[in-house]
Structures are given as structure tokens and as C-alpha cells.
């Protein structure tokens, strides 16, 4: 077995791993990047980029199909060429992956090790059966994988995850999507708009990660006007019938139903890739699921010279968060044993559905109970939204009653990917609602709806005059 010594060994060459590698090299240390699969990040290969390509095709189809209210009539039937759709998805996906591969190709050959890493001790790794790496520190950036329940595996190639979707050569006739989170909602709506008979089921009443009940209700109304979306639904049993999946399921308050689909697309969560890493051979403490305990601020595992970054830590499976994680873990690995809390950006998340869903700053479920003034806008009658016939959804903003500091927002509506950025910037700059209202708002734009919500929150903040209640709550929390 070949022996290799280095300052920092990084397990995984995805977004977090590449970010950690750059941080270590910038500090002037040696690093090796270990990858057991193909190079190219989750985002580029099977996540953000190919899903947005599929969504873009779906939006084109939907725009054509829904042009009549504008007085635009398309003669004849709109024909969707599934093979052409998937060909573009794969070609453009490969182009984005190519940019990542170019970055990897630019690294010194000696810094790249192919194979699966396993801990022998805190600082010794075996890569398959060909290389032993002795490193002063290690960064785990092994990513995550979709979860497929054991009971579904009898379906063989008829049960798929998002990774598989982007290898299709054509669109199927029908799909049942299990899960109404980000992945399930995005892919389910896109497939439905591309003419695939699609049913989305979710065992809870949640949709798209929203926690504000009013925003969630507005989003649900919009989705259910278009999609076969069944919440509070349990899958009772599945079986394969020839090249189809027969699903028996029950929605709360309704009798059991049985339907057949070409595929069962499981989008019910992802699992950190910690199995097989040999963490039991290290000094770190593991929970019953085999997940290591770590400091969320420094990303260090106990006092060991091991750090964890990206999707594998199970916190925020978002590209920009993974990049930040990699930087923090890489910098602390480089400076070990001196480690420092990493600087975090304001939280932000976007679901590229229609209407788009987004969160910035504190979510509804994270708010201090008594100290918040609320403001909202319903896009049903918002000017620019009605002009575009995208007047669905609601935006709610949260402002601290004592001082008016902007805390966060949840939203469903048109162009929320852009509104979320503005609001995340406001959170990070610790702006007050009055300062935000001093900013320019053009006319007519969707941002005027945001101004409506901010004005309402400012009015409630001034009128409430409940500073004592806030202080009382803060005192109780402090004790």
C-alpha cells in the first residue's frame, strides 16, 4: 500500500470539499482531495442546475398553454417532445459539470486521490486498498444521498430519486412523487407542466419547507389549483406490475385508493454519507445513527483534528451554505489547534416552484413570541403581479417591536428569488423597517408589494407600544 503524508486530507470533492481545499492551500499548507465517485458537484450533476433546466422547459410549456387570458391564442395542440426536453437538460447539465471538471483538472495531480476513504485513526486514512494517508488534520465533506425506504426497493428500476431523473432519455407517461419538500415540489410541478401525469403525496401537511401558516395556506391554494397534491397522505403498500408501480395510499379523512404509475419518484429527504467512513475508529463521539457530534460554529468534531462541512453535517443542504462550511472547516483545519467560529451569512432559501417559495432571516417558527410586528401583502391584487397573471401567494415580514429591527420573512409569490435576496441583505445589515422603507421602490414592480408589507409592519410596530411586554419576555428567557 502506498504511503502519503499531508497537512490536511479532505474527503469529498463536492462544493464543500473544493471550498475547504482552496482555504487550506490559501493558508500555505499541503492538502489532498479524496473522491470516491465522479468529479462534479451535486449541484451541477443532479441538483440545482439540471432541475432548473427541467423547470425552464416546464415554464415554457406552461406559458404557451396559459396564454389565452392575454388574448394570445395558439392554434393547434402544444406538443412537448420529451426526448428533446431531456436532451437539452443533459447537454446543458454536462456543460455546467464541465466547468467544475476544469477547476479540478487545474489542481496538481498529486493532490487528487481516487477512491473511498476510511478512518483507521483520527489522522490516518486508508483509501480503498491502495493508499494510506497520514494527515495532521482531516475535513469530512462526503455529501449526502437520497433516502429510499427498504419497502420500496422491491420496485427495482421503477423506483427512482432525483439523480435518476436527469438520466432519462424521454419523459415518462406518469409519476408519483413521494415528498412535497423542495425537490418533490420542484420536480413534481415541472413534470406535470410537461404533460406527465403526476401525483405528489406528502405524509404531513407541510409544503416546500414553509413554517408560516398563512403563507403556507396561500401557497397550498395555488398549488392545488393546478397540481394533484395530496397532503397528510400515507403510502400503505407498493408492488410492481410489469413495468408499472401500483401504489395503495390513504389521505386523511378519505378511503384508501390504488393507482398505477410508470415510476415512483422518492423525494423524501437525504441522508449524510457517514456510513463506511470508519468514524468508530476515531475518538469522536457518535450518536445512535452514527452521526458525529460537532461544534456548529467551528465545525470541529469534539477536540479531534477532524472537521465536517457541507451536506454531510445534515444542517443546511444548500450550495452557498456548503461553500461557507468548506471555507470555515478548511480555515480551522489549517489553523488547528487554534480554531475560531466561522462567520455566517444571513439565512436564505428558495424553492423554484410557481409560485416561488422563499425564506430570509428568521423563519416564522423561530420568532420570539411576543416581540414581533407582522406585515403582509397578498399578491392577488398586487399591481405588477396581476399584470403578469402571476397574482398568487402571500408575503409576510417580521419586525421586532422594540426598535423595529427587521427579523425575517417567509413568502410565496412571483419572483421571490429576488425578494429573498433583498431581505437577506437587510437582515445581514441589521436594518430597521424604517430604514428599509427609505430605500427606492420603482413602479410598477413586484417589490411594491414588499413595500406594502413593510409599511404594515412599521404601522403595527409603532401602534403596539408593547415594549414592556417584549422586555418582560426577554427577562423571562434570560432566566
CATH architecture entry for 150-268: 3-Layer(bba) Sandwich (3.50)
DSSP 347-399: PEEEE-SSSEEEEEES-GGGS-SSSEEEEEEEGGG-HHHHHTT----EEEEEE
Question: 150-268: same fold as 2-146+271-335?
Answer: yes
Q: Which fold has domain 348-466?
A: Enolase-like; domain 1 (3.30.390)
Residue 472 confidence class, pLDDT cut points 50, 70, 90: low
Bigger pLDDT: 478 or 108? 108
Query: What is the per-residue pLDDT for 453?
Result: 98
Residue 467 confidence class, pLDDT cut points 50, 70, 90: low
Q: Which residues pair with 467 in a beta bridge?
A: none
CATH architecture entry for 2-146+271-335: 3-Layer(bba) Sandwich (3.50)
Mean of all residue pLDDT scores within the chain: 94
Q: Which H or E element spans position 56?
A: helix 48-65
How far is Cα 408 from Cα 130, in angstroms, rounded to an integer?
50
How many CA within 13 A on the CB side of residue 140?
Answer: 33
Q: Is the pTM of this model over 0.85?
A: yes
How far is Cα 289 from Cα 215, in angstroms, rounded to an integer?
34
Q: In the predicted model, is pLDDT for residue 476 greater than 70?
A: no
Q: What are the helix (H) ranges across 124-233?
A: 162-165, 182-193, 213-224
The least confident of 50-59, 333-342, 456-465 is 456-465
How far is Cα 175 from Cα 168, in angstroms, rounded to an integer?
13
How far is Cα 404 from Cα 392, in angstroms, rounded to an integer?
28
Residue 177 confidence class, pLDDT cut points 50, 70, 90: very high
Domain residue limits, the chain:
2-146+271-335, 150-268, 348-466
Amino acid at each position: 500500500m502506498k504511503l502519503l503524508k499531508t497537512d490536511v486530507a479532505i474527503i469529498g470533492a463536492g462544493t464543500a470539499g473544493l471550498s475547504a481545499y482552496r482555504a487550506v492551500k490559501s493558508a500555505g499548507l499541503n492538502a489532498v482531495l479524496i473522491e470516491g465517485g465522479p468529479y462534479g458537484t451535486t449541484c451541477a450533476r443532479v441538483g440545482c442546475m439540471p432541475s432548473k433546466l427541467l423547470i425552464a422547459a416546464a415554464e415554457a410549456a406552461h406559458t404557451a398553454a396559459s396564454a389565452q387570458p392575454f388574448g394570445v391564442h395558439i392554434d393547434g395542440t402544444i406538443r412537448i417532445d420529451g426526448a428533446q426536453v431531456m436532451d437539452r437538460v443533459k447537454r446543458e447539465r454536462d456543460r455546467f459539470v464541465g466547468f467544475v471538471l476544469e477547476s479540478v483538472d487545474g489542481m496538481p495531480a498529486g493532490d487528487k486521490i481516487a477512491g473511498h476513504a476510511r478512518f483507521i485513526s483520527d489522522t490516518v486514512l486508508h483509501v480503498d486498498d491502495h493508499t494510506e494517508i497520514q494527515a495532521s488534520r482531516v475535513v469530512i465533506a462526503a455529501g449526502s444521498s437520497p433516502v429510499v425506504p427498504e419497502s420500496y426497493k422491491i420496485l427495482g428500476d421503477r423506483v427512482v430519486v432525483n439523480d435518476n431523473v436527469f438520466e432519462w432519455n424521454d419523459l415518462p407517461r406518469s409519476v408519483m412523487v413521494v415528498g412535497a419538500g423542495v425537490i418533490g415540489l420542484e420536480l413534481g410541478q415541472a413534470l406535470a407542466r410537461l404533460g406527465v401525469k403526476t401525483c405528489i403525496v406528502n405524509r404531513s401537511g407541510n409544503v416546500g419547507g414553509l413554517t408560516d401558516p398563512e403563507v403556507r395556506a396561500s401557497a397550498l391554494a395555488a398549488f392545488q389549483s393546478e397540481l394533484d397534491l395530496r397532503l397528510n397522505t400515507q403510502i400503505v403498500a407498493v408492488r410492481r406490475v410489469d413495468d408499472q408501480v401500483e401504489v395503495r395510499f390513504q389521505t386523511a379523512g378519505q378511503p384508501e385508493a390504488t393507482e398505477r404509475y410508470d415510476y415512483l419518484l422518492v423525494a423524501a429527504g437525504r441522508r449524510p454519507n457517514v456510513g463506511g467512513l470508519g468514524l468508530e475508529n476515531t475518538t469522536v463521539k457518535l450518536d445512535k445513527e452514527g452521526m458525529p457530534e460537532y461544534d456548529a460554529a467551528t465545525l470541529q468534531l469534539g477536540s479531534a483534528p477532524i472537521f465536517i462541512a457541507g451536506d454531510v453535517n445534515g444542517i443546511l443542504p444548500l450550495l452557498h451554505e456548503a461553500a461557507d462550511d468548506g471555507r470555515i472547516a478548511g480555515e480551522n483545519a489549517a489553523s488547528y489547534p487554534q480554531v475560531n467560529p466561522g462567520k455566517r451569512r444571513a439565512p436564505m432559501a428558495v424553492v423554484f416552484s410557481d409560485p416561488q417559495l422563499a425564506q430570509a432571516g428568521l423563519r416564522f417558527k423561530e420568532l420570539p413570541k411576543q416581540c414581533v410586528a407582522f406585515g403582509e401583502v397578498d399578491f392577488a391584487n398586487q399591481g405588477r403581479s396581476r399584470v403578469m397573471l402571476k397574482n398568487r401567494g402571500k408575503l409576510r415580514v417580521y419586525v421586532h417591536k422594540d426598535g423595529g429591527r427587521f427579523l425575517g420573512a417567509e413568502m410565496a409569490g412571483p419572483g421571490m428569488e429576488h425578494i429573498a435576496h433583498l431581505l437577506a441583505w437587510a437582515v445581514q445589515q441589521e436594518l430597521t423597517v424604517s430604514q428599509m422603507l427609505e430605500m427606492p421602490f420603482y413602479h410598477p414592480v413586484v417589490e411594491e408589494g414588499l413595500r406594502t408589507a413593510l409599511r404594515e409592519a412599521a404601522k403595527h410596530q409603532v401602534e403596539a407600544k408593547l415594549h414592556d411586554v417584549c422586555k418582560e419576555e426577554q427577562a423571562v428567557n434570560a432566566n
